[in-house]
C-alpha cells in the first residue's frame, strides 16, 4: 500500500489537470469529483490540493480567478492553459507506458 | 459562513503576515471548507461531527502555510524597498521645505533690491521646480515598489506585533490622543506666534518622542 500511495502522490498534478480539462473548477468541487469517481476510496487532502494549485499556477499550467457568488464566500476557480493541456497528455502517455510495462513484467512471472 | 469554520481558519492564519497571497489562500480555504461542512450537514450529520470531518480532511497545514510565509530573501528585499522609499520621501519633504525657504529668500532679496515682482516670480519658479522634483521622487518610489512588497506589513505594524495584545490596545489609544494633542499644540503655537516658518519643528520632535514611546512599550513586552 505504501507503493500505491507513492504512485498516487506522483500523479496529484495530473489528477487536477484532468479535472480541469472538461471545465473550470474550484478546490472542493475537484476533490468531490475525484471522491465520487473512486467511490470514496480516494480523496486528496485539502492542504495537498492548495499546494498543488500554487505549483501548477506558478508553472503556468493553470490560471485562477475569483467567482462572483451572490451568496456565501467567493470561490477561487482554476482553468487549464495550453501548457497545462500539454503536460496532461505527456503525463497520461507516461502513465500508459509505465502501466503496460509494469503489466508485462508482473504478468510474465505468473 | 459558519462561525466555527471561520474561527478555525483565523487560528490557522494567526501568525501569517497578511500578504495578498496569504489573504487569498485564507479566503479560498474558508470557502471550500465551509462548502464541505455544509455538505456534511446536508447528509444529516451533526454540526460537531461535520466540523470535525471537514477539519480532519485538511492534512498537512504546515507545508501549505510555509508557502505563503515570506522567506528571508523576500523580507530582505522588502526592507531594501522600504529603506529606499523612506529615503526618497525624506528627500522629497526636504525639497518642499527648501522650496518654501527659497520663496521667502527670493522675496526678501527682491524687496531689498527694489524688484519685488522679479523676486516673487523667481521664488515661485524655484518652489515649483523643487516641488516637481519632490513629487516625482515620491510618486516614483511608490509606483516602482512591487505590489507584494507594498502588501507586506509596514514597519509600524511589525513594531506593534512585538507588543502584547493588551499593551497594543493601550499603545494605540495613547498614540491617537498623542497625535491629536500634537496637532492642537502645533496649530495653537503657530497661530499665536505666526512663526509658521519654524513651528514645523514640532512635528520632528513629536516624531522622535513617539518613537521613544514605541520603544518603551516594546521593552515592557520583552521584559515580561
3-state secondary structure B105-140: HHHHHHHHHCCHHHHHHHHHHHHHHHHHHHHHHHHH
Among candidates B145, B143, B136, B135, which has minimal Cα distance to B82? B145
Q: Is A93 exposed, middle or buried (0-12, 13-18, 19+ CB in 10 A)?
A: exposed
Q: Answer whether B31 sits within 8 Å of A50, measured CB to CB.
A: no
Q: Answer whether A45 sits within 8 Å of B58, measured CB to CB.
A: yes
Among A8, A16, A28, the residue to mutate for chain B (most B Cβ within 10 A): A28
pTM exceeds cut of 0.90? no
SS3 B48: helix
Cell numbers 456565501 correspond to A72
pLDDT at residue number A96: 94
Would you say how long chain B is, in residues? 224
**Residues of chain A numbered 43-72 and touching chain B (CB < 8 Å):** 43, 45-48, 50-51, 54, 72
SS3 B144: coil
Cell numbers 512599550 correspond to B217
pLDDT at residue number B163: 65
Among candidates A8, A41, A51, A45, which has minimal Cα distance to A28? A45
Question: What is the largest distance, in Å, between two alpha-carbon atoms of chain A?
Answer: 59
Q: How far is A20 from chain B (nearest CA, A)?
A: 17
Is residue B31 within 8 Å of residue A76, measured between CB atoms?
A: yes
DSSP B164: -
Could you give the C-alpha distances from A17 to A20, A76, A91, B60, in angstroms and in order? 5, 16, 10, 22
Which residues of chain A are modeled with pLDDT < 70? 1-3, 71-72, 109-110
Identify which of B24, B27, B64 has the shortest CB distance to residue A47.
B64
Q: Answer whether A50 sits within 8 Å of B63, measured CB to CB.
A: no
Among A46, A58, A67, the residue to mutate for chain B (most B Cβ within 10 A): A46
pLDDT at residue number B161: 58
Identify which of A51, A72, A75 has the shortest CB distance to residue B64.
A51
pLDDT at residue number B156: 43
User: Is the Cβ of B36 closer than 8 Å to some Cβ of chain A?
Assistant: yes
Q: How far apart are CA B9 and CA B36, in angstroms?
A: 14
Q: Answer whether B32 sits within 8 Å of A74, measured CB to CB.
A: no
User: Is the Cβ of B61 closer than 8 Å to some Cβ of chain A?
Assistant: yes
**Which mean pLDDT values do the consecutive 10-residue runs of chain B (224 residues) have?**
87 81 88 92 92 87 80 77 85 87 86 83 89 90 77 53 70 86 88 81 85 78 58
Domains with residue ranges and CATH for chain A: 2-108 (1.10.10.10)
Q: How far apart are CA A28 and CA A35, in angstroms?
A: 10
pLDDT at residue number B155: 42
SS3 A94: helix
The helix (run of H) or strand (run of E) holding residue B65 is helix B61-68
Is residue B33 within 8 Å of residue B80, measured between CB atoms?
A: no
Is residue A12 within 8 Å of residue B63, measured between CB atoms?
A: no
Q: Answer whether B67 sits within 8 Å of A51, measured CB to CB.
A: yes
Among candidates A95, A78, A62, A65, which has minimal Cα distance to A29? A78
Handedness of CA B159, B160, B163, B169 (dihedral sign): positive
C-alpha cell at B51: 466540523
pLDDT at residue number A52: 92
Cell numbers 495653537 correspond to B188
pLDDT at residue number B143: 85
Among candidates B140, B166, B144, B162, which has minimal Cα distance to B153? B162
pLDDT at residue number A63: 95
Q: Answer whether B28 sits within 8 Å of A46, measured CB to CB.
A: no
Amino acid at each position: 500500500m505504501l507503493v500505491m500511495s507513492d504512485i498516487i502522490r506522483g500523479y496529484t498534478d495530473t489528477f487536477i489537470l484532468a479535472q480541469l480539462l472538461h471545465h473550470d473548477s474550484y478546490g472542493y468541487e475537484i476533490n468531490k469529483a475525484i471522491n465520487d469517481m473512486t467511490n470514496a476510496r480516494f480523496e486528496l487532502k485539502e492542504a495537498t490540493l492548495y499546494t498543488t494549485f500554487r505549483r501548477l499556477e506558478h508553472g503556468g499550467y493553470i490560471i485562477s480567478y475569483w467567482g462572483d457568488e451572490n451568496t456565501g464566500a467567493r470561490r477561487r476557480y482554476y482553468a487549464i492553459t495550453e501548457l497545462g493541456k500539454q503536460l496532461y497528455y505527456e503525463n497520461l502517455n507516461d502513465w500508459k507506458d509505465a502501466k503496460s510495462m509494469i503489466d508485462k513484467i508482473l504478468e510474465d512471472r505468473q | 459562513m459558519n462561525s466555527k469554520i471561520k474561527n478555525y481558519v483565523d487560528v490557522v492564519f494567526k501568525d501569517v503576515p497578511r500578504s495578498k497571497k496569504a489573504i487569498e489562500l485564507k479566503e479560498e480555504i474558508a470557502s471550500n471548507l465551509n462548502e464541505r461542512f455544509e455538505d456534511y450537514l446536508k447528509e444529516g450529520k451533526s454540526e460537531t461531527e461535520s466540523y470535525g470531518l471537514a477539519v480532519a480532511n485538511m492534512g498537512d497545514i504546515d507545508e501549505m502555510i510555509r508557502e505563503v510565509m515570506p522567506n528571508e530573501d523576500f523580507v530582505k528585499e522588502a526592507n531594501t524597498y522600504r529603506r529606499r522609499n523612506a529615503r526618497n520621501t525624506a528627500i522629497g519633504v526636504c525639497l518642499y521645505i527648501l522650496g518654501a525657504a527659497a520663496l521667502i529668500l527670493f522675496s526678501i532679496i527682491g524687496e531689498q533690491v527694489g524688484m519685488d515682482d522679479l523676486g516673487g516670480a523667481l521664488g515661485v519658479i524655484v518652489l515649483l521646480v523643487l516641488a516637481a522634483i519632490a513629487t516625482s521622487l515620491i510618486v516614483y518610489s511608490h509606483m516602482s515598489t512591487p505590489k507584494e512588497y507594498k502588501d507586506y506589513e509596514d514597519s509600524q505594524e511589525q513594531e506593534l506585533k512585538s507588543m502584547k495584545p493588551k499593551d497594543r490596545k493601550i499603545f494605540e489609544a495613547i498614540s491617537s490622543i498623542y497625535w491629536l494633542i500634537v496637532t492642537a499644540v502645533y496649530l495653537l503655537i503657530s497661530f499665536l506666534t505666526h512663526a509658521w516658518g519654524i513651528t514645523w519643528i514640532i512635528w520632528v520632535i513629536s516624531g522622535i518622542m513617539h518613537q521613544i514611546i514605541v520603544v518603551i512599550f516594546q521593552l515592557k513586552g520583552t521584559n515580561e
